[in-house]
């Protein structure tokens, strides 16, 4: 199938009434939770994952993906109006967005964020469509050693980009890999660490674990603090950016889209890194860098475009190699596996409807978001005024019932609570949950690839170094680790992170 | 004791238990790795990292040196603890008392006791939320929710 006919086939899947409905639900919920500080896309996707049991895999991924990129749209609203980012990728938007709002330009700030996100999201999808098929043909040539080394590289890149201690991130990846082995050994059929609990034979579920580590832990942390929000109360008029606004933002949107897309492909990169890098690029390339931080529209347009393009970029490794680059993609991988589908190079061949349907649904979703975001800004502002004291008990109840509904078992609910408490303590003691969950998801694939490679090579570990792709990945991973351990680099990294905060 | 020393020690003990558990499974050989091979490697790896965290915590000015008590200083730590205990109670009671009653009690306690809402709000919100979730999961998504003494 050529590019155009693939797109048409995808659109025919995405435009089926039930897929349109779930796409709408996804982007609506995504925008809603993006608007609400205190609950992010990861927590929401984890909470809603059990609800996707009753629908097809394609519809489920369309909805979950909608939540993901919808949250980026919604996140900008709180950054601009309240100076509190709805989620991490909108942190940088606070700098100039809130200043614009204080100067009475909340409307154009919200407008350019929505348009920029739309343009970047669409550009990202076009690049995704063009890159995915050639990457699939390369991935088909991969064997077990290549997969093993690629997954190690993915984990190391994610660890390299963590905010806190790299040693602790490595440790969390180790713990995640270990916990991923709980359950029946797929090669020998031996039960491992299941303690005669039948629910553990299938392994610890990603859904209750992610719900706990991200959803419950986030609520626990928020409960300790008093959340106060001050919404800009002036009436928001004129959402459409002026001709001058467009002229000032056009290159920021293009640069943000390109930077965002390619950073989105990197493990651990995602929308957060993309938005920060885009802001830095805009400030550097501007003739008047002094106006940044005081209401520069490019400071809103660039990062908002970048984080949406990154959302599309993150799909490349997942759909073509079956390797998630972040927690969101790990949850999507979990959702696919829950429906009996293994993502990877064969996905395009075996499930073209899913592959192209999901990609095309992003076009549709982006149009919906544009139509949704601009007229509904008044509604989102009202939502922002719902007290957290009402929100958190409802979210908790939703989590409890969602976890129970997975297998009709309280064991899953207990797992969720356990990982909620663990996630809360991890945040307190400065351990990051992202390497933990990514390693947990990759663990079964990592183990199979390692054992197969060793069986093929008769126990010779040099198999990972004698094959060019595999050795290239491992060398790159080693370079990153050496760099991370270098004192000069550590100092620079710390400074960069402090500036970003 | 410093935060890193406590957490490093915890993960080291957990790592050693994991290594022991992996050895009890079959490690196999490099030619034919057994069921315990990969968990053994993972256990060794994170135990080694735990030792590094522990050693760094002994050097002044390195790692996360905050005292344990300072992690909760000036924060309402009792609130997450209370919510965690309420959730634990919910898990224990769910299959006996049923979805509707346990959900109602859980939400009521959170809103009335923890958040000090007026009686009418503390009753109305749990009632409507439980009814909504029942309709969504039971009626719409056909999920089986535990039926307790109330039959719902």
Q: Which residues 77-116 in chain B show a CB within 8 A of chain A?
A: 77, 79-80, 83-84, 87-88, 90-91, 94-95, 99, 103, 106-107, 110-111, 115
Chain B nearest-CA distance from A417, in A, is 8
Per-residue pLDDT, A234: 54
- Identify whether A411 is part of a domain: yes
Q: Which of B21, B79, B129 sits opposite A397 (nearest CB)?
A: B129
Per-residue pLDDT, A419: 94
Q: What's the maximum distance between 2 C-alpha atoms anywhere in chain A?
A: 72
Assign B27 to helix, strand or coil. coil
Looking at mean pLDDT, say which of A212-216, A244-248, A358-362 comes out highest: A244-248
| pLDDT exceeds 70 at position B33 | yes
Per-residue pLDDT, A274: 83
Kindly indicate the confidence band of residue B41, based on its pLDDT and cuts at 50, 70 and 90: very high
Chain B nearest-CA distance from A404, in A, is 8
CA pair distance A263, A191, nearest whole angstrom: 40
- Percentage of residues of chain A with pLDDT beyond 70: 91
Dihedral sign for Cα atoms in the order A348, A354, A357, A359: negative
Of residues A419 and A32, the one with the higher pLDDT is: A419
Least confident of A15-29, A240-254, B61-75: B61-75
* Burial category of A189 from C-beta neighbours within 10 Å (exposed 0-12, middle 13-18, buried 19 and up): exposed
Q: Mean pLDDT, to the nearest integer, of A31-60? A: 77
Chain-chain contact of A417 with B87 (C-beta, under 8 angstroms): yes
Kindly indicate the confidence band of residue A501, based on its pLDDT and cuts at 50, 70 and 90: very low
Of residues A248 and B67, the one with the higher pLDDT is: A248
Chain B nearest-CA distance from A412, in A, is 10
Average pLDDT, chain A: 82
Chain-chain contact of A224 with B36 (C-beta, under 8 angstroms): no
Q: What share of chain A is helix, strand, coil (3-state, %, to 5)?
A: 75, 0, 25
Q: Which of B56, B76, B106 sits opposite A224 (nearest CB)?
A: B76
Looking at mean pLDDT, say which of A125-129, A326-330, A469-473 comes out highest: A469-473
Chain-chain contact of B31 with A458 (C-beta, under 8 angstroms): yes
- Identify whether A232 is part of a domain: no
CA pair distance B125, B119, nearest whole angstrom: 10
Q: How far apart are the first and last CA of chain A?
A: 47
Cα radius of gyration rounded to whole Å, chain B? 24
Residue of chain B with shortest Cα separation from A431: B7
CA angle A147, A275, A381 (to 5 degrees): 120
A274 contacts: CB under 8 Å, gap ≥ 6: A89, A256, A259, A260, A263, A264, A303, A306, A307, A309, A310
Q: Which residues of A touch B64 (CB under 8 A)?
A: 165, 429-430
CB pairs under 8 A between A and B: 177
Q: Mean pLDDT, to the nearest integer, of A405-417? A: 87
Chain-chain contact of A192 with B36 (C-beta, under 8 angstroms): yes
B80-93 pLDDT, tens digit per residue, is 999 999 999 999 99
Looking at mean pLDDT, say which of A27-36, A301-310, A334-343 comes out highest: A301-310
Q: Mean pLDDT, to the nearest integer, of A395-405? A: 83
Write a three-state SS string for A435-491.
HHHHHHHHHHHHHHHHHHHHHHCCCCCCHHHHCHHHHHHHHHHHHHHHHHHCHHHHH
Q: Which residues of B touch A177 (CB under 8 A)?
A: 38, 42, 45
Q: Which of A178, A187, A450 sits opposite B18 (nearest CB)?
A: A178
Report domain extents, chain B.
3-72, 78-140
Write a three-state SS string for A225-250.
CCCCCCCCCCCCCCCCCCHHHHHHHH
Least confident of A324-338, A420-434, A439-453, B22-36: A324-338
Q: Which residues 51-80 in chain B show a CB within 8 A of chain A?
A: 52-53, 56, 63-64, 71-72, 75-77, 79-80
Q: Which of B4, B47, B91, B126 to mutate to test the interface with A (most CBs of A within 10 A)?
A: B91
Q: Which of B80, B99, B115, B121 to mutate to test the interface with A (most CBs of A within 10 A)?
A: B80
B107-116 pLDDT, tens digit per residue, is 999 998 888 8
In degrees rounded to 5, what are phi and psi of residue A187?
Answer: -90, -45
Average pLDDT, chain B: 87
- Identify whether A235 is part of a domain: no
- Identify whether A96 is part of a domain: yes
Chain-chain contact of B49 with A408 (C-beta, under 8 angstroms): no
CB-based contact, A17 to chain B, within 8 Å: no
CA-wise closest residue to A344 among A317, A313, A314, A321: A321
Chain B nearest-CA distance from A192, in A, is 8
CA pair distance A385, A378, nearest whole angstrom: 11
CA-wise closest residue to A133 among A356, A390, A342: A356
Chain B nearest-CA distance from A498, in A, is 16
A128-168 pLDDT, tens digit per residue, is 778 877 877 777 778 889 888 888 887 887 777 676 788 99
CB-based contact, B17 to chain A, within 8 Å: no
Assign A190 to helix, strand or coil. coil
Looking at mean pLDDT, say which of A130-144, A317-331, B11-25, B109-123 comes out highest: B11-25
CB-based contact, B18 to chain A, within 8 Å: yes
DSSP output for A105-135? -HHHHHHHHHHHHHHHHHHHHHHHHHHHHHH
Which pTM was predicted?
A: 0.79
In degrees rounded to 5, what are phi and psi of residue A49?
Answer: -55, -45
Looking at mean pLDDT, say which of A114-123, A313-322, B73-82 comes out highest: B73-82
CA angle B96, B97, B100 (to 5 degrees): 135
- Percentage of residues of chain B with pLDDT beyond 70: 95
Of residues A215 and B141, the one with the higher pLDDT is: A215
CA pair distance A61, A69, nearest whole angstrom: 12
Assign A191 to helix, strand or coil. strand
DSSP conformation class of A338: H
Q: Mean pLDDT, to the nearest integer, of A168-176? A: 93
Per-residue pLDDT, A268: 61
CB-based contact, B46 to chain A, within 8 Å: yes
Per-residue pLDDT, B10: 94
Per-residue pLDDT, A109: 87
Per-residue pLDDT, A39: 65
CB-based contact, A454 to chain B, within 8 Å: yes
Chain-chain contact of B64 with A428 (C-beta, under 8 angstroms): no
Domain that holds residue A437: 3-227+241-500
Q: Mean pLDDT, to the nearest integer, of A487-494? A: 70
Per-residue pLDDT, A150: 84
- Identify whether A236 is part of a domain: no
Q: How many domains does chain A have?
A: 1
Q: Which residues of B touch A226 (CB under 8 A)?
A: 76
Kindly indicate the confidence band of residue A97, based on its pLDDT and cuts at 50, 70 and 90: confident
- Reported ipTM: 0.93
Per-residue pLDDT, B88: 95
CB-based contact, B45 to chain A, within 8 Å: yes
Residue of chain B with shortest Cα separation from A194: B21
| pLDDT exceeds 70 at position A1 | no
Kindly indicate the confidence band of residue A85, based on its pLDDT and cuts at 50, 70 and 90: low
Looking at mean pLDDT, say which of A44-48, A79-83, A301-305, A312-316 comes out highest: A301-305
Least confident of A107-111, A239-243, B16-20, B63-67: B63-67
Kindly indicate the confidence band of residue A417, based on its pLDDT and cuts at 50, 70 and 90: very high
Q: Which of B42, B90, B103 sits opposite A177 (nearest CB)?
A: B42
Chain-chain contact of A190 with B107 (C-beta, under 8 angstroms): no
CB-based contact, A461 to chain B, within 8 Å: yes
């Amino acid at each position: 199938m050529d590019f155009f006919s693939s797109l048409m086939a995808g659109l025919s899947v995405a435009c089926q009434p039930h897929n349109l409905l779930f796409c709408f639900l996804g982007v609506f919920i995504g925008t809603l939770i993006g608007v609400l500080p205190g609950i992010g896309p990861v927590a929401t996707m984890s909470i809603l994952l059990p609800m996707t049991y009753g629908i097809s895999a394609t519809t489920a991924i369309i909805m979950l993906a909608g939540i993901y990129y919808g949250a980026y749209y919604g996140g900008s609203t709180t950054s601009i109006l309240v100076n509190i980012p709805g989620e991490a990728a909108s942190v940088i938007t606070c700098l100039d967005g809130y200043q614009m709002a204080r100067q009475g330009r909340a409307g154009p700030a919200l407008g350019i964020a929505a348009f920029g996100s739309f343009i970047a999201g669409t550009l990202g999808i076009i690049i995704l469509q063009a890159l995915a098929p050639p990457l699939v043909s390369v991935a088909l040539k991969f064997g077990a050693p290549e997969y093993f080394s690629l997954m190690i590289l993915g984990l190391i890149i994610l660890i390299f980009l963590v905010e806190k201690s790299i040693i602790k991130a490595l440790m969390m990846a180790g713990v995640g890999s270990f916990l991923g082995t709980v359950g029946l050994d797929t090669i020998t059929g031996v039960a491992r660490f299941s303690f005669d609990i039948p629910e553990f034979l299938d392994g610890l579920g990603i859904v209750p674990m992610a719900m706990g580590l991200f959803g419950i832990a986030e609520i626990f942390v928020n409960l300790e603090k008093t959340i106060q929000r001050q919404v800009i109360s002036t009436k928001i008029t004129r959402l459409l950016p002026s001709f001058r606004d467009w002229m000032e933002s056009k290159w920021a949107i293009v640069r943000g889209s390109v930077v965002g897309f390619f950073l989105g492909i990197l493990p651990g990169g995602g929308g957060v890194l993309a938005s920060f890098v885009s802001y830095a690029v805009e400030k550097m390339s501007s003739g008047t860098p002094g106006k940044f931080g005081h209401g520069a529209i490019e400071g809103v347009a660039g990062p908002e475009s970048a984080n949406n393009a990154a959302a599309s970029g993150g799909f490349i490794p997942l759909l073509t190699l079956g390797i998630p680059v972040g927690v969101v993609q790990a949850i999507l991988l979990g959702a696919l596996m829950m429906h009996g589908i293994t993502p990877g190079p064969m996905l395009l061949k075996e499930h073209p409807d899913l592959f192209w349907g999901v990609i095309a649904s992003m076009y549709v979703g982006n149009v919906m978001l544009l139509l949704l975001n601009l007229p509904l800004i008044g509604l989102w502002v009202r939502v922002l005024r719902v007290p957290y004291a009402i929100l958190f008990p409802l979210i908790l109840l939703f989590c409890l019932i969602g976890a129970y509904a997975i297998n009709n078992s309280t064991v899953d609910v207990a797992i969720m609570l356990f990982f909620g408490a663990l996630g809360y303590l991890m945040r307190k003691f400065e351990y990051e949950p992202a390497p933990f969950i990514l390693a947990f998801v990759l663990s079964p694939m990592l183990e199979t690839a390692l054992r197969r490679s060793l069986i093929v090579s008769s126990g010779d570990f040099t198999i990972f170094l004698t094959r060019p792709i595999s050795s290239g990945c491992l060398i790159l991973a080693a370079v990153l680790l050496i760099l991370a351990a270098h004192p000069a680099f550590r100092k620079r990294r710390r400074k960069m992170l402090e500036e970003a905060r | 004791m410093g935060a890193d020393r406590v957490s490093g020690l915890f993960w080291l003990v957990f790592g050693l238990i994991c290594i022991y558990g992996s050895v009890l499974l079959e490690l196999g050989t490099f030619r034919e790795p057994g069921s315990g091979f990969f968990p053994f490697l993972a256990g060794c790896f994170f135990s080694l990292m735990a030792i590094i965290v522990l050693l760094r915590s002994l050097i002044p000015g390195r790692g996360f040196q905050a005292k344990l008590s300072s992690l909760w200083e000036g924060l309402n730590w009792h609130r997450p603890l209370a919510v965690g205990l309420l959730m634990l109670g919910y898990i224990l009671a769910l299959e006996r008392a049923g979805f509707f009653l346990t959900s109602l009690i859980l939400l009521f306690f959170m809103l009335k006791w923890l958040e000090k809402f007026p009686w009418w709000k503390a009753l109305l919100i749990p009632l409507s939320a439980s009814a909504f979730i029942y309709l969504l999961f039971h009626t719409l998504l056909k999920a089986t929710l535990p039926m307790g003494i109330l039959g719902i």
